[in-house]
Structure 1
Amino acid sequence: MSLPPLADLPNSLQPFAARAEQALHAALADLPAAAERLAAWPQARHEAFVRVCAASDFVSEQASRAAETFLELADSGELERALQSGELRAQLVAALADCDDEAELGRRLRRYRNRQQLRIIWRDISRQADLRETCWDLSELADACVDQAYQWLYLRHCQQFGTPIGRRSGQPQQLVILGMGKLGAHELNLSSDIDLIFGYPEGGETEGVKRALDNQEFFTRLGQRLIKALDALTADGFVFRVDMRLRPYGSAGALVLSFNALEQYYQDQGRDWERYAMIKARVVGGDQQAGAHLLEMLRPFVYRRYLDFSAIEALRAMKQLIQQEVRRKGMADNIKLGSGGIREVEFIAQAFQLIHGGRDLSLQQRPLLKVLNTLEGQGYLPPAVIAELRDGYEFLRYTEHALQAIGDRQTQMLPDNDSDCARVACIMGFDNWPAFHAQLMYWRGRVDWHFRQVIADPDEDEHAAGTPCIGGEWLPLWEEALDEEAASRQLADAGFAEPEVAWRRLSDLRSGPQVRAIQRLGRERLDAFVPRLLAQAVEHDKPDLVLERVLPLVEAVARRSAYLVLLTENPGALQRLITLCAASPWIAEQITRFPLLLDELLNEGRLFKPPLAPELAAELRERLTRIPEDDLEQQMEALRHFKLAHRLRVAASEIAGTLPLMKVSDYLTWLAEAILDQVLALAWRQSVAKYGTPKRGDGSLCDPDFIIVGYGKVGGLELGHGSDLDLVFIHDGDPQAETDGAKPIDGAQFFTRLGQRIIHLLTTQTTSGQLYEVDMRLRPSGASGLLVSSLGAFERYQQSEAWTWEHQALIRARVLVGSAGVGAAFERVRAAVLAQPRDLPKLRGEVGEMRAKMRDNLGSPSTGAGTAAHAFEASAPFDLKQDAGGIVDIEFMVQYATLAWSQQHPQLLRWTDNIRILDELEAVGLLPGADARLLQEVYKAYRAAAHRLALQKQPGVVGGDQFHAERRAVMRIWHELGLS
C-alpha cells in the first residue's frame, strides 16, 4: 500500500524542528567550512531535515552529537538514494579494516550503526523509502554487523585458543549464526532486537596451542564475546540488542550446540512454538555452507510431509497466552500483540505454512508479504482477503516504524502524550491524531476478523451461545457412558437402520489395536472427532453406510491424528468426506489408502472444478520446479500425489454431476498426458546426465527425438478411473552413434534405458502407490520385441509384419508427449499404414474372427457371450464390454470401417476416438445418420454405466434385463456390416 504524503507540520511540532536546527548549528560552529556545506544543501534536504527532526528525537540528537558524521552522510547523497546490494556491508568492512582492538571494534560498530540508523529513519519518515526497503536495509545492517563482528572475533579467538577442528572430518570448524524472527525474514523494524541461535558442525577440540579447548567451550566463549560486541550499552549506544532465548532449552540451555545436538533436540523435544519460530530461520553469519546444511537437517521438524492441522491448535494456544498477557499488562494499545495487530497477520500466514508447507514447497518462504502473495496465487485465500491482510499489515508496520522512529526505542504501544500522538499522525500522513486513529482501528478490525476466520475454534460460536460443542450429544455414547441397549436406542432414534451393527463398529474401533496404541494427544483428538462424525452422519440419509465407509479411514489415521484435526477444524471438509464416501466405496478406499487426499476436501470450489489441460500441465510443472533436480524420491511422490489429488477431483465432480462422462474421460486423459510429459522430461534429464545426449543420423544431438504413443483408452481419450496405459515408445535417433557423455553408449542402448527409466518412474510402488500400470504389449512384435523402436523399424513392421488386429489398435494410437517432429512423422506413418488398399471380404473375415475369439475367451460363459436365447433374462449377466452388442462390438465396427474405407476417405484417420470417427462415417455417407447417432449414444450409455460401477467397486456387468434395445440395435448393425 502507499501511505499519504507526510502531513504538513502541525504547530505543536514546530518547536521540535527549531530546537534541532539550533542544536545542529551550535554543533557545527567549530567545524571548518561547515556553514558553507550546510548552505549548499538543496531546498528539499533542508525541508526534509525540519520534518524528520520534528518527528524524531533520535535523528535530532544524532545530528548534533556527531555533526561531522551527519554532514558527511548528507554530502554522500545517501540520504536521497537507496544503497546498492552489498554496499552497506562493504562500507562496514572498510570501517573495520584497521581495527585491532576489541573495545575499538565495539566503538566502530556502534558509530556505524548510528550512522545507518539515522539514514534509514530519515528515508523512512521522508517517504524516500518504502516499507520493504526500510526493513531490508535494517536487516542487511544487522547481517553485516553480526557477521563482520564474528569474523573479526573468530580470527583473534583462534590466535588465543587455537583453531577448532572437527573430530570426524578433521576440518576447521566455524560458528553458524541463525537469525530468527524478523531478522531471518529480512523484516526488522526500526528498533528491533535480534533473535539468534548459535551452532557448530561437529565436536572436537582446538589445535595450534599448548592447551586445547573443546569445540563447545571454544564456541561458547566466542559467542559470549560476540554478544558483548553487539549488545553492550556504552557511551556510543548499542549495535543490536541480542536475544538468545529461542535456543534449545531457552535461557537455561547451552549458549552453543553442535548440529547433532540441535537436530536431536528438535526431533525429540521441539515444541510447536519452536516450529513457528524456525519458519523464518536464516543464516546471518558464520559458515554459510554449513548453515545451509543445518537448515536442511531441521526442515523436517518445521515442515511435516502430511497436512498438519495441529498447527492451528498450537497457534491458537499461543494467541490465547498472548491475549492473557496483553490483558494482564493492559496492552490493548499494542499494535503488535493486541487484537488485530501485526502478530495476527503473521499467525494467519504461518498457519498455512505449517499446515501445508511440507507438501507445498512454495510456502516454504520467510518474508510475510511473499507468503501472502503465494497464498493468493495458490488459491488458499481469495484475492480480496489477501488485499486486506496486505494493506492492513503494511499500515501496521508503517505505524510501528513511526512509533519507534521518535526515540529509537523498541515499542509497539500507542503514545500516551499529545506531542508524540501528533508526531505519529504527521509521519503517517494524517492531519491529526483522531483521523489516524480511526484508520488504524479500521485496519485492526479487518485483521482481527480475518484472523478469527482462520484461527478461531470451530466450537467458538457454539460456546458463545451457551450451547454444547458440535457432536456433544454423542460424546457419552462414544466414551461408553451408555450401555449397549441405551446406545443402540440413541442410534436407532437418530435414524440408523441397524443400530446394533453401528454400535459394534464403534466398539470395534474403540477397542481396536490402532486406537489402543495411540498416545494421549491422539486419543484426545479422536475423542473430539468421533462425536462430530456421528453428528454429521445422522444428517445423511444413509448413516449406516457413512459409518461403514468412514470408520476404516478413522482407524487408518488414528495414529496420525493430525488428519483428525484437519476434519475437526474444517466441518465442511468432513461433510464432503461423508458425502463422497457414502456415494462411492472406491473414493472411500482411495482416501483410506492415501489420507493425504483429505487436503482436497478443504476447498469445495477446487474439489468440484478440476482444471483444464493447460492448467493441469502448468500446475504439475510448477510443483516439480520447486523440488531439487537430484531429489528423485520427492519428484516421484509429487507426481503420485498430483495424480491422486486430481483423480479424486474428477471422481467427486462426476458424483456431484458437474462433469459429464465425456469430460470425465477427457480430464483423466489430460491428467495422464501432463504426468507423462513430466516423466519423460525427468527420465531424459537423468539419462542424459548419466550417458550424454544421443545423436541423429546427421551427427547433430537429439532433443529428444523421442515420443510416447498412447493406444487403447488413453489413445482414444476414454480413460476411466482405474485404467492402465497402453504405450509404445518410438525414437528417431541413430542406433549406432554413441552418446556424447563421459560414459558413452550407443543410441539403441540409450533409448532402451530411457524407456526403462520411464516405466520405472510410472510403475514403482511408493508410499503413495504407483502412477500407472503400463502395458507395452502393443509394441512391434509384442512382449518379445524391443522396448523402444526406431521410427523406421516401426514403419517396416507395420507395413510388412503387423496383423490386422494390430492395425485395428493403430486406429486408436496417437502421440501423447515428446518431440513434435517425430510426432508428425509418426502421424504420416500411421496414415500410410491405415490407408492401405484392403481386400474387404478378407478384412471382414479377420475382424469377425478376432471378435469371436474375444467373446469366447472374455464374454459371459453362461450366456454364450450374450448370444444365447436366455441372454436377455433378468438373471443372466451382461458384460458391458465383451458380450454381444456391447462396447467391443461398437469399437470393432468403427475399426473395420476405418480400415475398409480410409483410403478413399482419409478424414476417417483424423481422430482416434470412436465418437468422432462415427461423426466422420456419417459425414461421408458410409453409415446412416440414425445408425451413427445410435451407436454413439449406446456407446456413451455403456461407458457411463461402467464408470458408475467402477466407482462402486463393481465389475462392468449388469443384469440381462438391461439395455435390451441397445444391444439388439448394435447386433443388427454388426450383421448389416457383414461381420458375423
Structure 2
Amino acid sequence: GGIREIEFFAQTQQLIFGGRDIRVRIAPTLLANKALCAVGRVPEAAVEELEEAYRFLRRVEHRIQMTDDRQTHQIPADDEGVAHLATFLGYAQVEDFRADLLAQLGRVEDRYAELFEEAPSLSGPGNLVFTGTDDDPGTVKTLAGMGYRDPSRVIAVVSTWHRGRYRSTRSGRARELLTELVPAMLNELAKTPAPDDALVKFDSFLERLPAGVGLFSLFIANPWLLALVAEIMGTAPQLAETLSRNPSLLDAVLSPDFFDPLPDAAGLTPEYQRFIAGAHNFEDVLTLSRRWTNDQRFRAGAHILRGITDGDHCGPFLADLADVVVPELAARVEEEFATRHGRIPGGAWVVVAMGKLGSRQLTITSDIDLIVVYEVPPGTRQSDGTKPLAPNEYYIKLTQRLTNAITAPMADGRLYEVDMRLR
C-alpha cells in the first residue's frame, strides 16, 4: 500500500486505455490519475484518497532520507527510530503517526486491490473435457444438451486451440487462460440461434488474432464482453467479419460511453479532433482516422445489435461520421500537397457528397459517392509552389491524393471505398 502501488495504479490503466485516448498519456502520477478520472476511468473519491496518501507518504519518505542522509525508502525498524521520525514529522505522539501511516497504507492497498478483484466465475454447464484422442462421452452429451448439432466438431475445434495451432494460443499462459474461458465461451455461443456456426466464426476470430493473453484476460475480467462477442459471432455476420479482421475494435467497447446514445456531428467533431491530436505526421492522421472511424462504425453496429438504435437512425450518424472525417482529411491532403505544388492563387475547391452519403442513408458497409468542384480566377496559369501545376492538373492530382488518403489499405484497413463516377 505504498507509493509504488499508487504509481502502478495509474500506469496499469494508462497501459490499458492510453493506446486510444491520448488524454491519459500523462507522466506525473497525480496528474495521470486526474486525467483518468476526467475520462471516466477512475472514481473521483479514489483520486482524492490516492493524492492525499501520495503526498503523505512522499513527506514521510523525504523525512527518512533527510534523517539518514541517504536514498532509502524504509521506515525505521526500531521503536526509537519511529519515534524520532514521528517527531520530525510534527507528531506529538508516536501512536498518532502510526495510526495515520497505517490508515494511508490501507487506503492505497484497498484502491490498488480494486484493479485486480477476482473475476466472476466462468464455469459452464456439465462435463467438458477436451483432452485425449477420443471424444469424451460426457462432453458429447453436455454439448448436445447445450444445443450444438455436431459435438464432435466442437471438440475438434476446441482441441485445436489447446494444441496451440494458432498464434493466439501458442504460449502456455494463453492456453491456460483459454482453458478457464472455454466453458463460459461455449455457453454464450450456445445462446445464439446457430451455435455451431457461431463457433466457426469464433474459431476464425481466434485464428486471426496476433496474440491471445491480453484478450483472454479481458474476457475473464469482463464476462459481459465475452457475451457481446458471442452474440456478434452468432447473429451479426458483417460485424463478426469486421471484428475478425480488426480485433482491436474491442478496446473501444471498454469505453464507459460506448452504449450511450450515438452523438451527432457536434459531438463527434471534438472527439475526433482529440483522437488525432497525437498525430506526428500525415500518415499518423490517416492511421488514427481509420482507427477512430472503425471504432465508431463498430459502435453503431453494436447499438443496432443490442436494439439501442435501428438502421434508420444509424444512417444519419454514419453520415455525420463521414462529414467529420472527410473534410478534415481534405484539409490535411491540401496542406501536404501544397508543400510541393503550392496553391492556386485565389482558387478554391469543395468536396460534394452524393448518393447515400448525400441523402444521409449510409450503412456500415456503404462506400461514399463524392465529386469535387473547383473554381479558378480568370487568367490564373499555375500554382505557386516549387513544382507548379496548371489549374486543371492541380485539382485532378489533388483529388487523386484525397481519394488515395481515403481508400489506401493500411493496418486498420481502408477508411471508405470511394466512387467518384457522377451518374
TM range (shorter): 0.7 to 0.9
Greater relative contact order, per chain length (Cα 8 Å cut-off, separation 6+): 2
CA distance in structure 2 between the partners assigned to 1:383 and 1:403 by the alignment: 30
Q: Which residue of 1 aligns with 2:109?
A: 448
CA distance in structure 2 between the partners assigned to 1:575 and 1:520 by the alignment: 20
Mapping of residues 450-599 of structure 1, within 5 Å: 450-456=111-117, 458=119, 470-471=122-123, 477-480=129-132, 483-493=135-145, 495-498=146-149, 501-508=150-157, 510-511=159-160, 515-516=164-165, 518=167, 522-538=171-187, 541-542=191-192, 543-544=195-196, 546-557=198-209, 559-599=211-251
Match of 1:722 among 356, 362, 365: 365
CA distance in structure 1 between the partners assigned to 2:59 and 2:13 by the alignment: 25
Amino acid at match of 1:395: F
Q: Which residue of 1 aligns with 2:315?
A: 665
Displacement of 1:364 in angstroms is 4.8
Displacement of 1:524 in angstroms is 3.6
Three-state SS of the structure 2 residue aligned to 1:606 is coil
Deviations 1:437-478 (A, max 9, x none): 43333332232222222235537xx7xxxxxxx338789523
Displacement of 1:731 in angstroms is 2.6
Displacement of 1:363 in angstroms is 4.9
CA distance in structure 2 between the partners assigned to 1:476 and 1:591 by the alignment: 27
Q: Which residue of 2 aligns with 1:619?
A: 271
Three-state SS of the structure 2 residue aligned to 1:709 is strand
Mapping of residues 193-272 of structure 1, within 5 Å: none
Match of 1:650 among 300, 315, 320: 300
Deviations 1:478-534 (A, max 9, x none): 3348734332112134x2242xx2441341353389942549852541342254243
- TM-score (structure 2 length as normaliser): 0.86
Q: Which residue of 1 aligns with 2:403?
A: 759
Sort the Cα spacing of 1:530 and 1:415 in 2 relative to 1 into closer, same or farther, 3 A.
closer
1:401 aligns with 2:53: no
Whether the aligned pair in 2 keeps the contact of 1:348 and 1:455 (CA below 8 Å) is: no
CA distance in structure 2 between the partners assigned to 1:409 and 1:537 by the alignment: 58
Sort the Cα spacing of 1:512 and 1:350 in 2 relative to 1 into closer, same or farther, 3 A.
closer
CA distance in structure 1 between the partners assigned to 2:87 and 2:392 by the alignment: 76
Q: Which residue of 1 aligns with 2:421?
A: 777
Q: Which residue of 2 aligns with 1:385?
A: 46
Displacement of 1:559 in angstroms is 4.8
CA distance in structure 2 between the partners assigned to 1:536 and 1:680 by the alignment: 44
Sort the Cα spacing of 1:525 and 1:427 in 2 relative to 1 into closer, same or farther, 3 A.
same
Displacement of 1:597 in angstroms is 0.9
Displacement of 1:722 in angstroms is 1.3
Three-state SS of the structure 2 residue aligned to 1:731 is strand
Sort the Cα spacing of 1:751 and 1:518 in 2 relative to 1 into closer, same or farther, 3 A.
closer
CA distance in structure 2 between the partners assigned to 1:774 and 1:713 by the alignment: 12
RMSD over aligned Cα atoms: 3.2
Whether the aligned pair in 2 keeps the contact of 1:558 and 1:564 (CA below 8 Å) is: no
Query: How many residues are paired up?
Result: 419
Deviations 1:85-121 (A, max 9, x none): xxxxxxxxxxxxxxxxxxxxxxxxxxxxxxxxxxxxx
Three-state SS of the structure 2 residue aligned to 1:348 is helix
Amino acid at match of 1:346: E
Three-state SS of the structure 2 residue aligned to 1:401 is helix
Q: Which residue of 1 aligns with 2:8?
A: 347
Q: Which residue of 1 aligns with 2:356?
A: 713
Deviations 1:269-308 (A, max 9, x none): xxxxxxxxxxxxxxxxxxxxxxxxxxxxxxxxxxxxxxxx
Displacement of 1:618 in angstroms is 1.5
Three-state SS of the structure 1 residue aligned to 2:369 is strand
Three-state SS of the structure 2 residue aligned to 1:406 is helix
Sort the Cα spacing of 1:433 and 1:475 in 2 relative to 1 into closer, same or farther, 3 A.
farther
Amino acid at match of 1:375: L
Whether the aligned pair in 2 keeps the contact of 1:509 and 1:555 (CA below 8 Å) is: no
Sort the Cα spacing of 1:708 and 1:593 in 2 relative to 1 into closer, same or farther, 3 A.
same
Sort the Cα spacing of 1:434 and 1:458 in 2 relative to 1 into closer, same or farther, 3 A.
same
CA distance in structure 2 between the partners assigned to 1:737 and 1:382 by the alignment: 61
Task: Detail structure 1 runs of 4+ shifted over 6 Å in the superposition.
Answer: 472-475
Displacement of 1:607 in angstroms is 4.0
Amino acid at match of 1:564: F
Displacement of 1:616 in angstroms is 1.8
Deviations 1:809-859 (A, max 9, x none): xxxxxxxxxxxxxxxxxxxxxxxxxxxxxxxxxxxxxxxxxxxxxxxxxxx
Sort the Cα spacing of 1:532 and 1:508 in 2 relative to 1 into closer, same or farther, 3 A.
closer
Three-state SS of the structure 2 residue aligned to 1:707 is strand
Larger radius of gyration: 1
Displacement of 1:771 in angstroms is 0.8
Gap runs ≥5 in structure 2: none
Sort the Cα spacing of 1:418 and 1:477 in 2 relative to 1 into closer, same or farther, 3 A.
closer
Amino acid at match of 1:643: T
Q: Which residue of 2 aligns with 1:806?
A: none
CA distance in structure 2 between the partners assigned to 1:348 and 1:567 by the alignment: 21
Deviations 1:666-691 (A, max 9, x none): 22112111211321122022111121
Amino acid at match of 2:246: F
Three-state SS of the structure 2 residue aligned to 1:477 is coil
Q: Which residue of 2 aligns with 1:732?
A: 375
Three-state SS of the structure 1 residue aligned to 2:414 is coil
Q: Which residue of 1 aligns with 2:328?
A: 678
1:602 aligns with 2:279: no
Three-state SS of the structure 1 residue aligned to 2:258 is helix
- TM-score (structure 1 length as normaliser): 0.39
Sort the Cα spacing of 1:526 and 1:738 in 2 relative to 1 into closer, same or farther, 3 A.
same
CA distance in structure 2 between the partners assigned to 1:350 and 1:377 by the alignment: 16
Give identity over the alignment, percent. Answer: 27
Deviations 1:537-596 (A, max 9, x none): 425633545424323212222655433333234333222222333332222221111111
Whether the aligned pair in 2 keeps the contact of 1:665 and 1:717 (CA below 8 Å) is: yes
Amino acid at match of 2:304: E
Whether the aligned pair in 2 keeps the contact of 1:526 and 1:558 (CA below 8 Å) is: no
Amino acid at match of 1:714: L
Q: Which residue of 2 aligns with 1:298?
A: none
Amino acid at match of 1:693: R
Sort the Cα spacing of 1:520 and 1:727 in 2 relative to 1 into closer, same or farther, 3 A.
closer
Sort the Cα spacing of 1:614 and 1:392 in 2 relative to 1 into closer, same or farther, 3 A.
farther
Three-state SS of the structure 2 residue aligned to 1:706 is strand
Amino acid at match of 1:728: I
CA distance in structure 2 between the partners assigned to 1:483 and 1:514 by the alignment: 15
Q: Which residue of 2 aligns with 1:49?
A: none
Whether the aligned pair in 1 keeps the contact of 2:76 and 2:82 (CA below 8 Å) is: yes
